[in-house]
Structure 1
């Protein structure tokens, strides 16, 4: 009987030791997995706005067929300082969520004095950023809203957005003005692209031809889509690949529709010297009103904001 008891106790002790060893191993694995997850999360940061980067990876790779992913950068240079991964392209709103953006837009609308106010409803915010807004003009004839990308949600017209010392940079501005004579503004160029000289013609894909020309140290590429005129201007010595940028814009607009202006529209993309930043101004006329969005975000993000106007 003593022998039998000895044989029973030994396996139980061994099982307990094995179980204890197993728990320790699981805890170590959990800790290791947690550390790995933190490291990966830390690598998912983004590098800001502006610049010649034109990729919109989350939009399903709208790069024109056969084009180089870096074809929008200056020749002989690497990616621009303003390049970003665009994890927040149209409809991507980081951790804030579409409902929060909708709340901001709804609150702005509730304060507008102009009837039938339309606003952008989608913004290419970086992960973890929140949309904020300040109304700088508000009458029945005109309004202007400045949008911001901030770390924490704040109310509309919060003092932190307009404080001269700590105010964040404007992410995008959107305004609507009523004119007695909209044609007097000089916003819309009078461009005739019906008969482009062969040496100036550029194939942008989807049956669209652009006209390339140079003047006063700048190079221009202009094309039309419906009532919209689109133009890219860069400094000649930067040797920016304007056709490459234009092809990506054309490709993007194959799946994203801009508002149909009753009269005319103009997309103006300007790269200052160096090509590392960009200013995009998108204007369109409806009767006596002119809508205009301005931003330093990459062109496809600007197009996405205007495509979301409603």
Structure 2
């Protein structure tokens, strides 16, 4: 009887220990599962934070690039003649003007002053030791390399008289020379002077050379024809004239392009033929 009672007590003790063991294992499993879940959440959170940081950095870089681009556009510089033309339009209204200065050097020191109004004006273009304000009073001390003017007359007949246009009939019988591009010029020589003349549309062109000084008008005439083969002068209504000199005189503006538009005459006088051509074809 005693042995049976001892056996029952032993079974009860073993059963209680097994339950506690299972509960302990279950609790341990729950803790490990909770820790694993927390670790996964932490990993996901870190990943999101890193992704957000990368996106924020990329956004900041893009914004910085955009600001830099805008700043670059705002600081973009323009040729001084464009800035001067803006001032001229404010002063004279919508008048036609050269869009290039015709210079090979010194454009950053281009200075401009004007006199007159929309109907009658004179504009001086000079290169100074420094760039000065538009129409600065001190610019009258500078020698212009180019002068551009507009004159308005009562009628087109008066305007046409200013051009000194010569018809082709006046050169009949004179020696001829090929200037290229299908253009033929005539040579009028005498008293130590040579004049080589030709026509392009309503333009009468002539190059003067002093034969007494062994000057030849042909090279400059051919250069002019070649330039005008790919560049267009303003269209005269009715006449236009170009008068070039082979000899370049210091501080003089004896290269002239003049044309009529109804009762208005435009005139451009420059130091060199090349400058005159570059400025004239840019006028608009």
Pick closer, same or farther for the CA change 1:260–1:199 going to 2, 3 Å. Answer: closer
- Is structure 2 residue 179 aligned with structure 1 residue 204? yes
Match of 2:110 among 128, 131, 134: 131
Whole-Å separation in 2 of the counterparts to 1:190 and 1:157: 34
Whole-Å separation in 1 of the counterparts to 2:171 and 2:149: 34
Pick closer, same or farther for the CA change 1:128–1:174 going to 2, 3 Å. Answer: closer
For CA contacts below 8 A with separation 6 or more, give which structure has more relative contact order: 1
Whole-Å separation in 2 of the counterparts to 1:255 and 1:225: 13
Alignment-derived partner of residue 229 in structure 1: 204
Pick closer, same or farther for the CA change 1:102–1:255 going to 2, 3 Å. Answer: same
Alignment-derived partner of residue 20 in structure 1: none
CA contact (8 A) 1:261 1:284 kept: yes
Whole-Å separation in 2 of the counterparts to 1:230 and 1:263: 15
Q: Secondary structure in 2 aligned to 1:151? A: coil
Aligned-pair CA distance for 1:301: 1.9
Pick closer, same or farther for the CA change 1:151–1:97 going to 2, 3 Å. Answer: farther
CA contact (8 A) 2:165 2:239 kept: no
Whole-Å separation in 1 of the counterparts to 2:162 and 2:176: 25
Whole-Å separation in 2 of the counterparts to 1:301 and 1:222: 20
Aligned-pair CA distance for 1:218: 1.9
- CA shift digits 1:36-84 (9 cap, x unpaired): xxxxxxxxxxxxxxxxxxxxxxxxxxxxxxxxxxxxxxxxxxxxxxxxx
RMSD between superposed Cα atoms in Å: 2.3
Structure 1 segments, 4+ long, off by >6 Å, are none
Whole-Å separation in 1 of the counterparts to 2:248 and 2:84: 31
Who wins on radius of gyration, i.e. which is larger? 2
Matches within 5 A, 1:138-177: 138-162=116-140, 167-177=141-151
Alignment-derived partner of residue 301 in structure 1: 275
Aligned-pair CA distance for 1:177: 0.6
CA contact (8 A) 2:153 2:264 kept: yes
Aligned-pair CA distance for 1:279: 1.7
Match of 1:106 among 81, 86, 101: 86
Q: Could you tell me the TM-score, scaled by structure 1's length?
A: 0.60
Q: Secondary structure in 2 aligned to 1:105? A: helix
Whole-Å separation in 2 of the counterparts to 1:209 and 1:194: 14
Whole-Å separation in 1 of the counterparts to 2:106 and 2:242: 29
Aligned-pair CA distance for 1:172: 0.5
Q: Secondary structure in 1 aligned to 2:222? A: helix
Whole-Å separation in 2 of the counterparts to 1:300 and 1:287: 27
Whole-Å separation in 2 of the counterparts to 1:203 and 1:118: 34
- Is structure 2 residue 152 aligned with structure 1 residue 178? yes
CA contact (8 A) 2:102 2:274 kept: no
- CA shift digits 1:130-185 (9 cap, x unpaired): 2111112x2242111111112322111112211xxxx2211111111101245446
User: Structure 2: where are the runs of 5+ without partners?
Assistant: 1-75
CA contact (8 A) 1:252 1:300 kept: no
Pick closer, same or farther for the CA change 1:258–1:98 going to 2, 3 Å. Answer: farther
The count of aligned residue pairs is 204
Pick closer, same or farther for the CA change 1:231–1:195 going to 2, 3 Å. Answer: closer
Alignment-derived partner of residue 244 in structure 2: 269
Whole-Å separation in 2 of the counterparts to 1:190 and 1:267: 10
